[in-house]
Structure 1
Amino acid sequence: MSKDSDEFVRSIARGFSIVEALGKPPGRHTLAEAAQIADLSRATARRILATLVTLNYCASDGRYFSLKPRALGLGLSYLNALPYWGYAQRALEDLRNEIGESCALAVLDEREIVYALRLPARRILSTNLGIGSRLPAHLVSLGRVLLAALPPEKRAAYLASGDFKPVTPRTETDPQRIGAILGRVEKEGYAWVDGELDPAICGIAVPLRDQIGAVVAAISINMISGTMSEAAAKKKYLIPLKKTAQDIRSQMVSAR
């Protein structure tokens, strides 16, 4: 459905744009700042903010607006609706405790991954990521698994419309080579990325499939770059990672 459709409710879309604006750092914004971030007029933003304050989703001290705890329910509604989230949380906790490395689960949202779970290891990696954090999909192992699972026409459209800018000296930016990498990920059933987003971090990921075999998410193990090669990571972590994905899927199937 396009934004020009009669069924598209602009007031709801504008309301969500203000909620998203208030979630941007530093976490509180003036009316003018919120309107600018949401690309709305001040008059429209003022009405939406007043409504959010009345509904207890937003607080105001007279100058600044910030989200209140009730807004957290919007995100939790999505997580609670995922049929695998509770199973995945327990399974990834067990995996993290077993191997001593950071573990994560993410879903694809257009050109980005969104973390639905992230369980850091005791030794802290340099990233500051949590549930809801977003990253460019092609730069991380989780994203490459999810991109590789796209239908061929959607994958081709993604590669054709991408602006793959370098983030580190190791970042792959050529669409043809990225396409070849995704083809290999689809064939081999896992993705490995080393230092393409952060030169200090590498990771290995596998798909998480639902009851009918469709890829609905990806799970990963992440570690400090330079501590392990792809071959070593594959030998040490691929089997337990795939077993964890299968365990989560089995619990989804048995819960039907």
Structure 2
Amino acid sequence: MATPESEAFVRTLARGLTVIEALGQAPGIHTLAELAVATKLPRTAVRRFLLTLIDLAIVRTDSKHYWLTPRVLRLSLSYLSTLPYWREAQVALEELSSISKQSCALSVLDGEDIVYLQRQHAKRILPVSPTLGSRLPAYAVSMGRVLLSGLPDDELDAFLRTVKMRRLTSVTITNAGELKAEILKVREQGYAWGEREFDDSICGLAVPVRDMSGAVIAAINVSLAAGEFTREMAVEQFLPKLWHTASRLRMSATLPQEIRRVRSSTQTDRP
């Protein structure tokens, strides 16, 4: 793997991607000075990247401000098109939301965060309502703990050593030992329940999506209004529906053999 210190690392490409990421931050329109601060790059370098991105029709400008064009979606859609289960997930989550009358979502793990790849809203929109591409801290949400439970032990320990946890609500777990115990419990029981740890108004029930080798490749959940459901009520009403949906996605998750990660220690008979 190339690192910033290795000869294989293309620093110019890395800096260009950093500029694109900065352009994607709110409010979505930025000055050169703002981008230089956000990227921690010299203004002259940022300007060269912007001029190149303008020539590629990825960025537009009014000579003072810069913003992304729809062409940048090619980058994200390229990733989504490599996921064999993504299109099936849209239909499956629509049906899950219709049956459960609750909002539901699919996400994957990216570093310390989960990233939403699908989201179906119930008629009643919850106070916290992520959309496609939204990121939430994995340690504090049910889908994050499901995804972390699928990591090999050494990767899970590395995550717990480096993750920066902060108290988001009065009940957020911020101790690495306590979090590991919760994740191991999720690994054993096959689902995660999160209540008020990310937001006082939200709780959620999540299960893993596995490929045919048994590796955890994604997570799906139902999001619930806190106070309306206990853990027991949620498990009884929604867990069978979640497992059914996960099984449906598993049948479409035929990843190429060379990118599968066989994690036999985490395989279970559950979907």
Q: What TM-score, normalized by structure 1, do the two folds share?
A: 0.97
Structure 1 position 240 matched with structure 2 position 241: yes
Q: Could you give the per-residue CA deviations for residues 208-245 of structure 1, whole angstroms, max 9, x where no partner exists? A: 01121111100001110011011110111101100000
Amino acid in the other structure paired with 1:16: L
Q: Distance in 1 between matches of 2:89 and 2:62?
A: 40
Give the C-alpha shift of residue 194 in structure 1.
0.5
Give the C-alpha shift of residue 4 in structure 1.
1.4
Matched with 1:64 is: 65
Structure 1 position 182 matched with structure 2 position 183: yes
**Bigger mean CA deviation after superposition, 70-79 or 185-194:** 70-79
Matched with 1:10 is: 11
Matched with 1:95 is: 96
Amino acid in the other structure paired with 1:54: D
Structure 2, unpaired ranges of 5+: 258-271
Give the C-alpha shift of residue 128 in structure 1.
3.7
Sequence identity of aligned pairs in percent? 44
Q: 1:126-137 counterparts in 2 under 5 A? A: 126-137=127-138
Q: Could you give the per-residue CA deviations for residues 9-48 of structure 1, whole angstroms, max 9, x where no partner exists? A: 1111111000000000000100111111111110110000
Structure 1 position 80 matched with structure 2 position 67: no
Contact preservation (8 Å) 2:60, 2:66:
yes
Q: Distance in 1 between matches of 2:164 and 2:133?
A: 23
Q: Distance in 2 between matches of 1:162 and 1:74?
A: 27
Amino acid in the other structure paired with 2:144: G
Matched with 2:147 is: 146
Amino acid in the other structure paired with 2:137: P
Contact preservation (8 Å) 2:83, 2:253:
no
Matched with 1:45 is: 46
Q: Distance in 1 between matches of 2:34 and 2:71?
A: 22
For the aligned residues, what is the CA RMSD?
A: 1.5
Q: Distance in 2 between matches of 1:104 and 1:76?
A: 18
Q: 1:165-204 counterparts in 2 under 5 A? A: 165-204=166-205
Give the C-alpha shift of residue 162 in structure 1.
2.5
